[in-house]
Chain A
């Protein structure tokens, strides 16, 4: 098995594990981590593609590497924003559950206090 294939399979495995984690975990922090695992899988795949597409005399195709760095920056900002929202949610409500509109809630919503226009 060549290195490229091995890396590709590892990438697929990471994407699979991450997706599974995203589906089954209820806790938002675990979802964020699972998202990062999927992201790592995609980046690993991009790295494998860079290696495979290298021109003669080069260690790797530079374009995917540039994309990779941009992708990591975007994924990092996404993670930071999500964690910030999560912390704020915990500070305001004291819980981090995402089950917002569970069947028990609608009654409370309809009698909601004014102020949703957020001034």
Chain B
């Protein structure tokens, strides 16, 4: 990020992108009653406008948008910088926040004449706080400001987990907070070491001065590991499933779609912009290897779930893995440094695509829970007829996650496959292609159950808001059509027609693979008719179930506190070792 140290035109917009949500938080806090929701909507409109304006400035100038706080230039002052990746994330987050806001009107609206309740009041304020913190993560040009932004994001995200105040969600929130604090203290330790070595924390200045000496390597390993703990990359996902599955649907959408992207984006910043020449290809292989393990592990356990929300939470665990596959593919020809290129574009697209699709998926799951009063996957029969829009939203989000043309994930996969081909890393081609089938596994499982003909009509305990259903569908559709929107920055011949034989064939192959996975692993056999005992299982099915159970046991072991902490230290040591071995 070689950028001039002056405030560029439109620089003030960066400060506003951070300020507007936080002013909204304070205003909502003071006004109370029904006002937090109104303030949130005003802030959403303003924030969306600001994000668009920043994108406009970036497109016109071609370089990064910069704002120097108080006119002081680094190293003494603090700079806000928005380069292309930051602007992409700013825009995506603004769109997803607006979608979640519209969805949450039904759950967290305060009807006129009623006293304010704690959950809605807190939800709207925290939604804005998450947004402001994320914007700060995207535009900060300084590692310490990033630390503060990261902490703000955690403090805003944790209470979202326990909005309903039940014991189990409080416990999930506490686990989340404690593990996240461990992660952030490691990050801070790394940042302190960097300051000790170079006397600055400004990203552009650091990038110019950094060399692979022991202090820098230790800092890189500590910071990366700390951020991975906050992102919940396997095997550091101790807190994710209970936290994301227990929260109210709108909050889960925020946590799963957005909050984890903050720390992920920081890993990208660190590796690509601060120390592109310090990290080694072998450490990138480790990072992506953890990602590949997350895909297999998360998907298999997702298929084994009985409850829809837990299934979606484990699907997030798997999708986090995808976000880290781009790192080994982004090295330059000699394998010396990470470069901004096709692989990074692919990774960002994957993040945006997951943010929109996963938010839509959690919303759909939440609507199904609200309407049926339960979310047991085996008892979903007839839901597709009762709530077609919601099930359509789930299906569209699932297709988008699988990477069917023209979804963002498809384009991301294509860009990363190209990078894997050109760098000769065939094993990532296998992971990228196979990962889609794993994703298809749990999507097929849910859809087969939802499309099943019920023996008696489904009992709807509560009518869900049509507006919420449309918001879920809109976000899912955003993700499915993302490749078309992204055509501007990438060559047009990358997206082919979904009806071309090759595309149709690969889609069918993915769905077939997923169906086999779901058939083998599902807790209740897919072939058994509704309400009847399953036929005796064959040897293949018994073996598959044994594998699934083994994965579940391993997951329980990994998610115990001592094993998670030891895994954390081991990952840090491994990163240190792999970065030092050059």
Q: Is the CB of A19 within 8 A of B172?
A: no
A residues in contact with B164, CB < 8 Å: 115-116, 118
Docked complex Cα distance between A111 and B306 (Å): 10
Q: C-beta contact mask, A14-36 vs B, less than 8 Å → 1, else 0?
A: 01000100111010100110010
| Docked pose: A116 CA to B248 CA in angstroms | 6
Which chain B residue has the least Cβ–Cβ distance from A84?
A: B159
CA A81 – CA B193 in complex, angstroms?
Answer: 27
A117 contacts B248, C-beta separation under 8 Å:
yes
**Interface hit among B475-483, B486-494, B560-568:** B560-568
**B195–A67 contact, CB under 8 A?**
yes
Size class of the A contact interface (CB-based, 8 Å): 35 or more
Q: Is B461 an interface residue (CB 8 A)?
A: yes
- B189, CB-defined interface residue at 8 Å: yes
Q: How long is the Cα–Cα vector from A82 to B561 in the complex, in angstroms?
A: 17
Name the segment of B173-181, B266-274, B329-337, B531-539 touching the other chain.
B173-181
User: How big is chain B's contact interface, by range?
Assistant: 35 or more
Do the beta carbons of B366 and A117 come within 8 Å of each other?
Answer: yes
Residues on B with C-beta less than 8 A from A89 are 167, 170-171, 174
User: Is there a chain B Cβ closer than 8 Å to A77's Cβ?
Assistant: yes
CA distance A53 to B561 in the complex (A): 39
Residues 80-110 of chain B, each 1 if its beta carbon lies under 8 Å from chain A, else 0: 0000000000000000000000000001100
A85 B148 Cβ-Cβ under 8 A: no
B370 touches A117 (CB 8 A): yes
Asked whether A64 lies within 8 Å of B195 as measured between CB atoms, the reply is: yes
Give residues of chain B (150-164) contacting chain A, Cβ–Cβ below 8 Å: 151, 155, 158, 162-164
Q: Which of A60-82 contact B (CB under 8 A)?
A: 61, 63-64, 67, 70-71, 74, 77-78, 81-82
A28 contacts across to B, CB distance below 8 A: 174, 178
Whether B249 is near chain A, meaning CB under 8 Å from some CB there, is yes
Is the CB–CB distance between A118 and B195 below 8 Å?
Answer: no
Partner of B192 from A45, A99, A101 at Cβ < 8 Å: A45
Q: Which residue of B lies closest to A77 (CB)?
A: B155
Instruction: List B residues at the A interface (Cβ < 8 Å).
Output: 75-76, 107-108, 119, 144, 147-148, 151, 155, 158, 162-168, 170-175, 177-178, 181-182, 184-185, 188-189, 192-193, 195-196, 199, 241-242, 246-249, 251, 306-307, 309, 366, 369-370, 373-374, 376, 461, 556, 559-562, 565-566, 569
Q: List 16 interface pairs A-B (beta carbons < 8 Å), by A numbering.
A: A23-B561, A26-B561, A35-B181, A41-B189, A45-B196, A49-B196, A70-B148, A78-B151, A93-B170, A99-B560, A109-B307, A115-B166, A116-B246, A116-B248, A118-B119, A118-B164
